[in-house]
Amino acid sequence: MVAQSLFPALAPTIEWRDGDLLLLDQTRLPHEIVVEHVADAAAVWRAIHELRVRGAPAIGVAAAYGLCVAVQDARALPLAQFRAELERRARWLDTARPTAVNLSWSLRRMLQRVLTCGASDTAALYDALVDEAQQIHAEDQALCEGIGRHGMPLIGQGSGVLTHCNAGALATTGLGTATAPIYAAHREGVTFKVFADETRPLLQGARLTAFELQQAGVDVTLIMDSAAASIMSQGLVDLVIVGTDRVAANGDFANKIGTLGVAIAAKHYGIPFYVACPSSTLDFRTPSGAQIEIEERCDEEVTHIAGQRTAAPGIKVRNPAFDVTPQELVTGFITERGIVRAPFERSLGSLFPAAGNAA
């Protein structure tokens, strides 16, 4: 695994080992390194829904392998029944999280393989599914490398880079998306600083991004979400790079809640704002951000910290997991094929004519 050489003490984010799916439980980081053996469809669904595996690209890879796990107990069925059960369980897995497009993209691609592989028995069909999942896994690593290669020139000597949430190696199976240019620049000996937003309420920036950058030897400083604008005002940030869970056809994009505020502050201070976006996260079926479904999560994520209540009992809570940033706040999308600039509907569509149309 490309990314794991950065963190020799960590297990791979996702590992497929002779029919067994192993997931690094990200809810336990950075205090514990726990690898979960995911043995059935329900366990796959829970792992995605409960954020034990998270980050749009990693969710896509986990879903592909997860579908293989989900139908292992159905391999004795006749071929037609196996196909029907496969489709049913894919639809159910797709309900685990609604916003990250990689989940549905990956499952559609797996089902498309079923339609085209020409398998004459259940065993051959299952083998084709595993092969497709392994291809998705390998492609995710290659996408991260491409984003790193094209985004690296944006980071100059002495730069200050701000990022939000975790679009790092832990959110993928490679170098990450938003962190790929960071790791690429660090690998080339560029000296720069990274400011990582803590990312409330689940602190992915504090628990994951700051942790993995520190482990890789990158100069990283953890800041409160509410400090981002102030850090920008002091001239400490030259560049913002964030990830994304879904990019609409017009360039609006969904990312972890708080991204919109970072984009607005960057616009105010004239700081370039880039989105690291693998083609697997493009969704040309969705015209604009207005049509992106935003996941609402449980109240306890806001009312409690580390299991301890911090808000008054009975208080009303809104807990959207994502917000939508309009395309006019985006300087460019860093993709595996290059940096895409406005007008995004035309430029994204030209560079990725088939994106979002799998199956």
Does residue 356 have a pLDDT over 80? Answer: no
291 is in an annotated binding site: no
Which residue would you say has higher pLDDT here, 21 or 357?
21
Report pLDDT for 162: 98
Does residue 257 lie within any of the structural domains? Answer: yes
Report pLDDT for 6: 65
134 is in an annotated binding site: no
Q: How many domains does the chain have?
A: 2
Does residue 359 lie within any of the structural domains? Answer: no
Does residue 270 have a pLDDT over 80? Answer: yes
Q: Where are the alpha helices (DSSP H) in the chain?
A: 41-49, 56-70, 79-93, 101-116, 122-151, 180-187, 204, 210-215, 228-233, 259-268, 300-303, 344-351
Cα→Cα distances 91→9, 58, 85, 105, 356, Å: 36, 19, 10, 12, 17
Residues 158 and 85 in one domain: no
245 belongs to the catalytic site = yes
Sheet with 332-335: list strands edge to edge.
220-223, 192-197, 159-163, 239-242, 273-276, 332-335, 338-340
Residues 134 and 158 in one domain: no
Query: Could you say which of 124, 145, 166 is where a domain stops?
Result: 145
pLDDT in tens, 119-135: 788 999 999 999 999 99
Does residue 356 lie within any of the structural domains? Answer: no
Does residue 133 lie within any of the structural domains? Answer: yes
- Residue 266: which CATH number? 3.40.50.10470
User: Per mean pLDDT, which range of 78-92, 141-155, 250-264 is the poorest?
Assistant: 78-92
289 is in an annotated binding site: no
Report pLDDT for 358: 41
Mean pLDDT, residues 157-161: 97
Mean pLDDT, residues 299-313: 93
255 is in an annotated binding site: yes
Query: Could you say which of 98, 129, 145 is where a domain stops?
Result: 145
pLDDT in tens, 140-157: 999 999 999 999 999 999
Residues 37 and 154 in one domain: no
Residues 183 and 112 in one domain: no
Mean pLDDT, residues 268-294: 95
With a pLDDT cut of 90, the percent of the chain lying above it is: 84
Does residue 173 lie within any of the structural domains? Answer: yes
Does residue 358 lie within any of the structural domains? Answer: no
With a pLDDT cut of 70, the percent of the chain lying above it is: 96
Catalytic residue among 245, 252, 283, 323: 245
Residues 124 and 223 in one domain: no
359 pLDDT tier (thresholds 50, 70, 90):
very low
89 pLDDT tier (thresholds 50, 70, 90):
very high
The whole domain housing 224 covers 150-351
193 is in an annotated binding site: no
178 is in an annotated binding site: no
Residues 135 and 256 in one domain: no
118 pLDDT tier (thresholds 50, 70, 90):
confident
